[in-house]
Structure 1
Amino acid sequence: MASLIRVSRREVALMAVTFFWGGTFLAVHLVQQYCGPLFFVGVRFGTASLMGIAVFHRMLRGVTAAEIRAGTAIGLCMCVAYVSQTYGLRTISSSRSAFLTALYVPMVPLLQWVVLRRPPHVMSWVGIGLAFCGLMLLSGTGAVSGAFGPGEAATLLGALATTGEIILIGRFAGRGDSRRITVVQLVVTGVLALAAMPVMGESLPAFSWAWVAGGVGLGAASVLIQLTMNWAQKAVSPTRATIIYAGEPVWGGLVGWIAGDVLPATSVAGAACIVAGVLASELRLPARKRGPDATS
């Protein structure tokens, strides 16, 4: 029993990251009234990049090609994840976004199956089934009726990109200096978001202290978050990290509820199914022990 409840410092750090993530849904949702998603992600991670470079500029002189490749791959996933999630928050509530984003948890074993050839275990399939049921309930009357709109679709894309980010961090975290990899991924995320603005037809917003405070504040936090994830996942497996991240929709839903989000009964049931699927996907059935007379 003691081994089941023992929690390391790195796992506690990831729990703190998850708690913070839960509160960012509402903050980003509110800021979207003042600027577009690409601009906001660009400001957020542009700020984080400048801070990371300022703090670790000496260490960056020793950056290797492998660290640049790792940071670029992670940064690409991060850019897609944050831009998609931010776009979704323009039209859906922070609570709804939090629970849909949580679908990356059952997605992790599926992507590991496709990319790493590691088939999901039985409970992963249970979690995937529950998550799919929750998704249908959250969509209201179902995707067929059109109730599942662009905001939800973008959020699901963000969840898929987050899945890739977690797997890549787990793969590359131990193959270089986490500080240098962190700075590279922050730079890539910010630059890609800003570069995509003219391509996607997003214009510069009018000045507002709302997007300044949101972008700079979350940018500073992003440095600490990515450093923590890269540091912690050197010893915490992607699977273990994912179940810790499963607390994100709970905190996000709670913050949204406190702020006045109202979810119908079907959405509450859908959120409960997703949380149940998140937890079920990381459970392991106990192995049967063979008794001394089992071979007789």
Structure 2
Amino acid sequence: MSMKSPALLSAGDFMLLVVAAFWGATYLVVKDLGNVGSIGGMMAIRFVIAAAGLWAYWLFKRDKFQKQEWIMGIAFGISQTVVLNLEAYSVHFTSATNGGLIIALAIITVPILESAWRKNWLPYKFFIATSVAVIGLALLIMGNGFVEPNIGDLFMFIAMILRTFHFVILGRLTQGKTFSPVNLTTVMVSTSGLIMLIINPVAAIDTASTYSAGNWTSMLFLSLLCTSFAFIGMNWAVKHTSASRASLLLGTEPVWATIIAITIGGELIGAIGALGAVLVIGSTYWGQAIESKHRLK
């Protein structure tokens, strides 16, 4: 009897869950830092520090950059910047619930696009699992209440579509290639940091001048762990799995955000929210098992 099971988490799966946990932590950190300075200034500082950290790490490795890494890094850095800014500014017009549910649709749109691209459709049970995950996310975050559709929802919908293409194309172009996740991430994050600093130079300086020692500690956590490390981890993991599987595992981000908000932020979660978290975790485990079996055929 084989000791291996397709339902068990691989190293790539575990890395994606770690990334989701760090990204879940950003909700609390960004909320705290957002009360001190501007969103644009905070984002510029975040990515400039993240880029500096990545270049410092690169100096130890000194892996030679490939031409394709520069091209892809700049291209995906631009698309990443557009997505992040659409998400950040959409919250000024819509609720966290509306935005969270719209961006969560990527759990479904990514496997649809990837299956169509590969001309190899995942089993229908996988799409049932992703749909259950979206329902679970709805139950988990619906406590904030819905607002009527507005321009903010449109921004978030565009961000979700762009994120879908970004994720699938990144996965397709890096799988089986010799690209360095560190090199690719360094160029991507540096591109984002440069663009955000050019757009928000005054806001970045003003925001930085208002930060306390505690704020800078939070910013270092946000920049180095939730950005530098997380993006390296994601780019490495996507090379070793499918975009569909990765999007499902990264879809657990709100669950981690809730856990952190309860344990650190002192927030409470009701029975409906707890049920939603259980549905997300259960459907994610089920979905990745289905995807594993499909890949082994």
TM-score range, shorter chain: 0.7 to 0.9
Per-residue deviation, 1:7:
2.6
Q: 1:133 to 1:239 in 2, by over 3 A?
A: closer
CA RMSD between the two structures: 4.2
CA distance in 2, matches of 1:131, 1:153: 22
CA distance in 1, matches of 2:233, 2:67: 22
Query: Contact 2:44–2:200 (CA<8 Å) still a contact in 1?
Result: no
1:28 corresponds to which of 23, 27, 30: 30
Residue in structure 1 matched with residue 16 of structure 2 by the alignment: 14
Q: 1:61 to 1:113 in 2, by over 3 A?
A: closer
Residue in structure 2 matched with residue 186 of structure 1 by the alignment: 189
Instruction: Compare the two structures and name the one with the higher helix fraction.
Output: 2
Query: Contact 2:46–2:223 (CA<8 Å) still a contact in 1?
Result: yes
SS at match of 1:62: coil
Residue in structure 2 matched with residue 170 of structure 1 by the alignment: 171
Q: Deviations over 1:203-253 (max 9, x none)?
A: 853422255444333111122112222222222221222222122121112
Q: 1:22 to 1:3 in 2, by over 3 A?
A: same
Residue in structure 1 matched with residue 221 of structure 2 by the alignment: 217
Q: Deviations over 1:241-273 (max 9, x none)?
A: 222212212111233345355789988888888
Q: Deviations over 1:160-194 (max 9, x none)?
A: 44333322331233352222111100111111222
Q: Do structure 1's residue 38 and structure 2's residue 43 form an aligned pair?
A: no
Q: Quick check: 60-69 or 263-272, which moved more?
A: 263-272
Residue in structure 2 matched with residue 251 of structure 1 by the alignment: 256
Q: What is the count of residue pairs matched by the alignment? A: 283
**Runs of 5+ unmatched residues, structure 2:** none
- Superposed counterparts of 1:1-296, under 5 Å: 2-57=4-59, 62-88=64-90, 100-112=102-114, 121-123=123-125, 126=128, 146-148=147-149, 153-173=154-174, 174-197=177-200, 205-206=206-207, 207-209=209-211, 212-221=216-225, 222-258=227-263, 259=265, 261=267, 284=290
Query: Contact 2:132–2:279 (CA<8 Å) still a contact in 1?
Result: yes
Per-residue deviation, 1:66:
1.1
CA distance in 2, matches of 1:60, 1:266: 50
Normalised by the length of structure 1, the TM-score is: 0.73
Query: Contact 1:52–1:183 (CA<8 Å) still a contact in 2?
Result: yes
The letter of the residue matching 1:45 is F
SS at match of 2:206: coil
Normalised by the length of structure 2, the TM-score is: 0.72
Per-residue deviation, 1:120:
6.3
Q: 1:153 to 1:202 in 2, by over 3 A?
A: farther
The letter of the residue matching 1:237 is S
Say which one has the larger Rg: 1
